[in-house]
Amino acid sequence: MSTPGTHVLSHADQAPGGTVLRSSRGIALRGLRAIVRLPSAFFPAMMMPIFQAIAFSGTFFAITKIPGFPTDRSINWFLPLAAVMGSGFSGVGVGFTTIRDLESGFFDRLRMAPVPRTALVIGPLLAVWVRTLLVLAAVTVVGVLFGARLTGGPMALLTLAAAGLGTATIGAGWSLGLAYRFRDMRAAALMQLGLFNAIFLTNAQAPLNVMTGWLHAVAKVNPFTNILRLGRQGFLGDVTWDGSWGGLVAIAVLTALAWLFAQTGLRRLDA
């Protein structure tokens, strides 16, 4: 009988030295099979952003009437937030999986197998991206059914995907770094709280020009504000370079930092 673990190892065995691509694909497929084998773990990650988009746009429907609010549809404001947040939590999911692997000893078997170290990073990341695209598609479809409009045309989907995939990549690096350091479920709360705070301490709920008080000062310097702006622009007007570059730079810098955090954690694990 083949378990998920033996399946990955057999892929690596077939390729002496284990090519990065083949090993990464094996590890990614293992991560994706978990969606079918353990739907209870993936389903909440899919449902929560959908619920968030609907609940926030319903609860805070009236905030679009505040002078200066950039749209008259609350779903257009909250759908990108829910999509980006759901994507981030899809990324953090890889940290949970890694902790389970570390606790069960499977991760040690992976490290002993002729699998390139890079594949241990690229494989889970590929799985994260596929899961994120599923989340983004589901949230967008439900959002459109609830009245969201793509004011920026098809480019709105592209910038939303960029913001979502970027946040997922950052979330994955952050959570892997914590998983490698803590090696048990104590890290889970930190993974979620870190991302939750980073995204909510932005213009998540209201635009900067509508905010008052301390949050305005924090949101102005929080790079996730730029990432949300990138994802939102196609739902609030046209997609422009002005609305995009800040988010792209924030994704690039935060991705580099998060994955450096993950790499140093992996090295510590190897030491």
Partner 1 sequence: MSKRSILAIVRQPALVLPSLIFPLFFAALGTSSFGRATALPGFPQVDSFLDFSLAGSVVQGVLFGSVTGGTALATDIELGFFDRLLATPTSRVSILLGRLAGAAAFGAAQALFFTVVLLPFGVSIKAGVAGVAVIVVSGALTAMAIGGFTAAMALRTGSSEAVQGSFPLLFIALFFSSAFFPRQNMDGAYKAVADANPISYLVEGIRGLTIEGFTAANVAKALLVPVGIGVASVALALRALRSRLAAR
* Residues 168 and 199: beta-carbon distance below 8 Å: no
**Binding segment for partner 1 among 16-24, 48-56, 115-123, 127-135 (CB under 8 A)?**
48-56
d(CA 9, CA 112): 10
Span interacting with partner 1, options 56-64, 86-94, 252-260, 262-270, rule CB under 8 A: 56-64
Nearer to partner 1, 53 or 115 (CB): 53
Beta carbons of 230 and 162 less than 8 angstroms apart: yes
Residue 213 interacts with partner 1 (CB under 8 A): yes or no: yes
CB atoms within 10 A of CB 108: 12
Tell me: does residue 22 bind partner 1 (CB under 8 A). no
Residue with token string 């284990």: 18
Locate 225 and state its tokens.
């504000």
Q: Which is nearer to partner 1, 55 or 260 (CB)?
A: 55
Size of the site for partner 1 (CB under 8 A): 26
Q: Is 16 in the site for partner 1 (CB under 8 A)?
A: no
Q: In this chain, which stretch among 3-11, 58-66, 90-98, 256-264 interacts with partner 1, using CB under 8 A?
A: 58-66
Q: 33 is written with which tokens? A: 């099979």
Residue 70 and residue 79 in contact, taking contact as beta carbons nearer than 8 Å: no
CA 215 to CA 73: how far, in whole Å?
Answer: 23
**Residue 59 within binding range of partner 1, rule CB under 8 A:** yes
Residues in contact with partner 1 by CB under 8 A are 44, 47-48, 51, 55-56, 58-63, 65-66, 200-201, 204-206, 210-216
